[in-house]
Amino acid sequence: MKKAEIVKIIKEEKIMAIVRMKEQLEVPIFLKKLINGGLKVLEITSNTPGFSEEITNARTLYSNSDVLIGAGTVTNIKIAKEAIHAGAQFLVTPNTNIEVIKIAHKHDIPVLMGAVTPTEICSAIENGADIIKLFPAGSLGINYFKSIKAPLDNVDFFVVGGINVSNIKDWMDAGAAGVGLGSVLTQPAKQDNSLQSIERTVKKFIQLIAK
């Protein structure tokens, strides 16, 4: 799949699941529930044990589906190379690292690049970032995003951090192209010890995005 096609799917889906686990064996279990709930864009973070192995496993398991498996928390070139070698279909960073864009695009893989300030955002875009990940969005606040979006209205932003069912529509109405959701998807299942709650939570977010 070409880079442009992957970017198109990510923007159309609007929700990216962030899979960050303390135990490697949890990864396939939670991936399955998230996908069963209806999510098609999922990143496995580099600080999840065995992340590259799980990317490879997931790519194999879902090879005949329309699910995209990417790598998250790609802070440097070393992690980027490992993720690409493992088969990641897109890379997501929390920081602005232009070298990550270069190596990803060399392999025709898109990058959702973390950026906060106007300078970081413009630098990332000028160097080819496919989507800007505004992080941590919740801490920055929706008014900050609106202020940033006004002069940079041609930039596609995915907002990550602090997004929940009560504010996701506000962020989308403010101009976000999509959202990244992490613990808000998986925490309820860990609290009530019921994986079924993941599917219910995912469907709720999908419904809110669609409105």
Q: Would you please indicate which residues are annotated as catalytic (active-site) residues?
A: 43, 133
Task: Answer whether 54's CB lies under 8 Å from 28's CB.
Answer: yes
Is 107 in a helix, a strand, or coil? coil
Return the amino acid letter for 187.
Q
Q: Which helix (H) or strand (E) element contains residue 175?
A: none
Distances 104 to 49, 72, 148 between C-alpha atoms, Å = 22, 13, 26
Spatial distance between the Cα atoms of 92 and 8, rounded to a whole number of angstroms: 16
Spatial distance between the Cα atoms of 28 and 33, rounded to a whole number of angstroms: 9
